Amino acid sequence: MVQKGGYYIIKEEIMPEILKKTVKAKELLRSGKAKTVNQATEMVGMSRSAFYKYKDYIFPFYEASMGKIVTISLLLEHIPGILSSILDEIAKAHGNILTINQNIPIQNMASVTISFETGNMNQNIEELLEMIQNKQGVQKVDIIAQG
């Protein structure tokens, strides 16, 4: 049974356009590029009523993950230094690593789980995960928990 008021993580590719526009309008207001809601909604091409309907219910993942513990799962090629370079990226972003679990490589691939705190990060989690995903030897990165 699904609880009402729960949270979901969905990929942007399948989000309805109105929700994408709401997030863009909120970003314009937050950054100061738009001074009023009217200006922000005009810039993204949506009505003010739609903005007010959704604004309190849609947030970029990085906003929801700040000050939290995030656990990521990685599938890595068995290459010397790959895990170290990932840990360096998290440290550069000021993520505080709490746990690291690495399995023995099987068929030249190892699964790794890393939990870290995001409270002091100077980079949003989406950018960090994209940087990690683009590293040579990283086959897959998934967020498996946030709390």
**What is the tens place of the pLDDT at every residue in 67-96?**
588 899 999 999 999 999 999 999 999 999
CB 26 within 8 A of CB 56: no
Question: For the chain, what are the domain ranges?
Answer: 12-58, 65-146
Give the pLDDT confidence score for residue 30 in this predicted structure: 81
Residue where the block lists tokens 């590293």: 135
Give the pLDDT confidence score for residue 2 in this predicted structure: 47
- Give every residue of the chain whose pLDDT is below 50, as ranges: 1-3
Sort strands 138-146 and 109-117 into parallel, antiparallel or unpaired. unpaired
Give the pLDDT confidence score for residue 25 in this predicted structure: 92
- Render pLDDT for 27-40 as a digit per residue (tens, 0 to 9): 888 888 999 999 99
Domain 65-146 adopts which CATH fold?
Answer: Alpha-Beta Plaits (3.30.70)
Give the pLDDT confidence score for residue 79 in this predicted structure: 94
Give the pLDDT confidence score for residue 103 in this predicted structure: 94
Give the pLDDT confidence score for residue 1 in this predicted structure: 44
Query: d(Cα 38, Cα 21) in Å, to the nearest integer?
Result: 13
- CA-based nearest residue to 118, from 144, 94, 82: 94
Give the pLDDT confidence score for residue 7 in this predicted structure: 63
Helix (H) or strand (E) holding 91: helix 82-92
Q: Specify whether the backbone of 112 is left (phi greater than 0), alpha (psi in -120 to 50) or beta.
A: beta
Give the pLDDT confidence score for residue 26 in this predicted structure: 87
